[in-house]
Amino acid sequence: MAILCRPAVTVPEHVITLEETLGLARRLHAGHPRLDLALRLIENTGVLTRHLVQPIEATLEHPGFTARNAVYAAEAKARVPETVRRALAHADLGPEDIDMIVYVSCTGFMMPSLTAWLINTMGFRPQTRQLPIAQLGCAAGGAAVGRAHDFCLAYPEANVLIVACEFCSLCYQPADLDVGNLLSNGLFGDAVAAAVVRGQGGRGVLLEHNGSHLVPDTEDWISYDVRDTGFHFMLDKRVPGTMAQLAPAMDAMGARRSWDVSRLDFYIVHAGGPRILDDLCAHLGLPSAMFRYSRATLTERGNIASAVVFDALDRFFEDGGAAHAARGLIAGFGPGITAEIALGRWHDGRGEPPVAARRDRPTRTAVPVGGA
C-alpha cells in the first residue's frame, strides 16, 4: 500500500498580473516584428496571476548565471523547510519517519542536492536515501510520485517525502527574443510544493500503478539551451498537439488494468497550457470541469513546472477529495516529450483501503505504457 497524502504548497509574495505582463512586453519589446503574436499567445494562456521570488524589477535584471543560481539556492533554503513541515504534518509524520527524499527541480542547480541540506538541518536521519531529479522538467512531479510509489512497493513500510522547488522566473532571459521564450515570460510562475507517500496508513490517493511514455523523436520540442547566461527555454510550436499521442498512451495504461481512463472519477494533470487540457477533454471525451483543479492552478499561478500536479492535488483535497475507492489519474507532461502517469483510488483514511487490482509484471510488448 502507498498513500499519497495531502501536499503543502507555498507561493512567493511577489505577484504579477496578466495586465502587467502584457504592459511589460509592449514596453520592453516594442520593436519586435512578432510582438502582436506573442501578446496573443500570452493572453490565450489564461494565466491571470503569477508569483515571483523577487520583485519584478529584480526579475527583469540579469546579473549573470552565477548570481541567478545563488538566488535559487538561497530562496530554496528559505522557502522549502516550512513547506516540508506542513506536508509532514498532513501525513502525521516527522522527519525521522522519512526513508527517502525525492527532490525535483529544473530551474536551478545545486550539488550536493538540496536533499543533503534538508537532512542536515531538519532532523532527517543520516540514512535517508536521496533521489534528485533535475532534467524531466514539468513531468518531474509525476515522475516523483511514480518513484515514491516504486520505493514503497519495494519497502512496504517506508515513507517518502517529495519536494518540488521551481523558481521559473530565474530563467528569464531579457535578450532572448524568440517567440517561444516571450510566451514563457507570460506563462511560468514560481512555487514550492511537498507531499508524503506513506507506505502504511494515511488519507489520500492509494497508488496502484505508474508508468511512463515517451513520444518518439520529440526530444528537442521542449528543452533548455544552456548558455553563459543560463537556461534558455526552447519550445516547439508542435508541443500543444502532443495530447494526440499521449492520450492513447494513457488509455493503453488503463486498459492494461481494465480501467477505462475516460471514465475515472478525478484527474490531476499538469497544466502546461489551456490547449493541453482542452485536447485531453476532446481525446478522452471528458467535460472541461473534470480538469477544474488544473485549470485553477494555471489561472491563479501559471505553469509552475513540476509543482503543478501537487498544487492541483492540494485543491482536490481542499474540495473534500472523492468518495472512498473512487478511481483517478495523476499525470505530468514535460521534455522528451514525456508523460509520467499514476493510477490510484481515493482512500478516506477511516476504513480498510480499497483493494488494489493485480499488479502486472512489466512486459516487453507493444503496449505504449508500462510500469509498476
Tens of pLDDT, residue by residue over 260-281, are 999 999 999 997 888 889 999 9
Give the count of beta carbons closer than 10 Å to the beta carbon of residue 372.
19
Tens of pLDDT, residue by residue over 148-172, are 999 999 999 999 999 999 999 999 8
In the predicted structure, residue 229 carries a pLDDT above the cut 90: no
Residue (of 159, 149, 162, 164) closest to 99 by Cα position:
159
Provide the pLDDT for residue 367: 35
Q: For residue 197, what are the β-bridge partners?
A: 4, 160
Provide the pLDDT for residue 351: 67
Mean pLDDT to the nearest integer, 116-128: 97
In the predicted structure, residue 40 carries a pLDDT above the cut 70: yes
Least confident of 14-23, 190-199, 263-272, 349-358: 349-358
Provide the pLDDT for residue 355: 60
In the predicted structure, residue 5 carries a pLDDT above the cut 70: yes
Average pLDDT, the chain: 90
In the predicted structure, residue 359 carries a pLDDT above the cut 90: no
Distance in angstroms (rounded) separating the CA atoms of residues 285 and 283:
6
Annotation: CATH topology of 204-371: Peroxisomal Thiolase; Chain A, domain 1 (3.40.47)
Distance in angstroms (rounded) separating the CA atoms of residues 45 and 180:
13
- CB-count burial class (<10 Å; 0-12, 13-18, 19+) for 151: buried
Provide the pLDDT for residue 179: 75
At a CB cut-off of 8 Å and minimum separation 6, what does 112 contact? Answer: none
Least confident of 13-22, 32-41, 197-206, 353-362: 353-362
Is 138 a catalytic site residue? Answer: yes
User: Which of 138, 152, 168, 171 is labelled catalytic?
Assistant: 138
In the predicted structure, residue 46 carries a pLDDT above the cut 60: yes
In the predicted structure, residue 370 carries a pLDDT above the cut 60: no
The answer to whether domain 3-198 and domain 204-371 are alike in fold is: yes
Provide the pLDDT for residue 354: 66
Cis amide linkage into residue 3, ω under 30° from 0 = no
In the predicted structure, residue 343 carries a pLDDT above the cut 80: yes
Straight-line distance from the first to the last Cα atom of the chain, in angstroms, rounded to the nearest whole number: 13
CATH of 3-198, one of 1.20.950.20, 3.40.640.10, 3.90.1150.10, 3.40.47.10: 3.40.47.10
Q: What are the boundaries of each domain within the chain?
A: 3-198, 204-371
